[in-house]
Amino acid sequence: MKKIVLVGMLIVCSISVFGQKNRTLSEILTIIERSEIEYDLYEMTVKVFPENYTDKLNKNDVYQMESSGVKIVSKYRFKKETRSFIKEAEKFYKNGEAVKAREFYEKALKFQLELYNIIVCIGQTYDLEEDYNSAIRYYREAVEKNFIDYKAHWLLAEGLAKTEKKEEAVKEITIAHILNRNDPNVKASLEKIYAKNKLKYSNWKFNPQVEFNSDKIKYLRIQLDPEWSGYALCSAVWEFEPGYKEKMEEEYEDISLVKEKECIYCLNEFLNQNKKYIRLPSLKALQKANGLGKINDYIYYEVYLPEYPSDIYKFSEADVQNLVDYVLIVRGGKKTTDKKTTDKKIKDKKLKGKKDKTKDKVKITK
């Protein structure tokens, strides 16, 4: 097994460990050098397989509303009478009786106007009749009233594709995919719609080749592929350096997100200094995102949302649009020449990090 020695690859500078919001790779290396723990690096011999998040799916069972300037995400609650109407509607829908199904869906909606997902069901009855323009009208209404309904965006995209509104279809299917990051059916639809628009979704996963083994006191064995050095060193400090994670937990609210942000910035810094290691699609994408000023979008889409897909409900529509731009350009290969349209950065306060309860504009109720 080959031992790795990081000599001349990183510039070391002496800066207060906890004085900065985000540690640079140089600071991380300084922490390691001053640590009571012995960090030992070895080249990886066995591949680390990516996490499988296909069981982490969002459902169109929530809606978003605004109250006193605060966005609230709540689960739908169905009254007994409403459930009865929906049951009848579903029976007729399964039998292909669109008009009858629509009649009962409309009764359910009149009984509970806040059930925006029923608007989607009404649209589907028109799809059943191949009346795509009417279906699109209802899907648009559902999106307008409840932007976070991934199914409304998905079916709207399918309808737009059928009616040759290709560019809008691409945008809507991308939104649907972001709102339900791990759904394989939405992703399959995205790939199909992209292909019709001469775009190709690049299939890969963010999969750091890093493993830790700490079977002795004050000793850490790090196995890694060299291209992941920046990520590995930062992760090691977060997980094993005494007091580091605890200190960060005092300062930041969403600690898992803050960790990923810091480690990916360290990864990017390492790659900037060692271009020969930029070989994997995930690392090429990171460099492309860096050039577009969209590293935060990369972190959310590639790393955070696959593990925490429902956190998308905390995003503003503008932030979702930033992710749409990222997916289209970095994953879909869409050409862009206007730097202004690609230099947007997520302004989500959770990514910025500091705890501030008064500034939290999203609440999720169960």
Amino acid identity at 40: D
Tell whether the model's pLDDT for residue 211 goes beyond 60: yes
Per-residue pLDDT of 96-124, as tens digits, reads 999 999 999 999 999 999 999 999 999 99
Average pLDDT along the chain: 88
Tell whether 187 and 209 lie within a shared domain. no
Residue at 210 is within a domain: yes
Q: How far is CA 56 from the centre of its chain?
A: 12
**CB-CB contact of 35 with 213 (8 Å):** no
Regarding whether 134 and 88 lie in a shared domain, the answer is yes
Q: Is 364 within a domain?
A: no
366 pLDDT above the threshold of 60 = no
Per DSSP, 3 falls in state B
191 and 224 together in one domain: no
CB 74 within 8 A of CB 35: no
Q: Are residues 150 and 242 in the same domain?
A: no
pLDDT of residue 276: 96
> Would you state the pLDDT for residue 71?
81
CATH assignment at residue 156: 1.25.40.10
- Overall domain count for the chain: 2
User: In terms of domains, do 43 and 89 share one?
Assistant: no
Q: What is the share, in percent, of the chain residues with pLDDT greater than 70?
A: 86
Place of tokens 């012995």: 38
Instruction: Record the tokens describing residue 152, joined without a space.
Output: 């409304």
Q: Residue 290 falls within a domain, yes or no?
A: no
Q: What is the DSSP string of 287-310?
A: HHHHHTT-HHHHIIIIIIHHHSGG
DSSP at 228: G
Indicate whether 20 belongs to any domain.
yes
Would you say residue 245 has pLDDT above 80? Answer: yes
| Strand 62-67 with 38-43, pairing | unpaired
Tens-place pLDDT, residues 150-202 = 999 999 999 999 999 999 999 999 999 999 999 999 999 999 999 999 999 99
Domain match, 80 and 187 both: yes
233-243 residue pLDDT tens: 999 999 999 99
Q: Are residues 98 and 133 in the same domain?
A: yes
Q: State residue 12's pLDDT score.
A: 29
In a domain, 341, yes or no: no
Q: Which domain holds residue 113?
A: 62-66+76-196
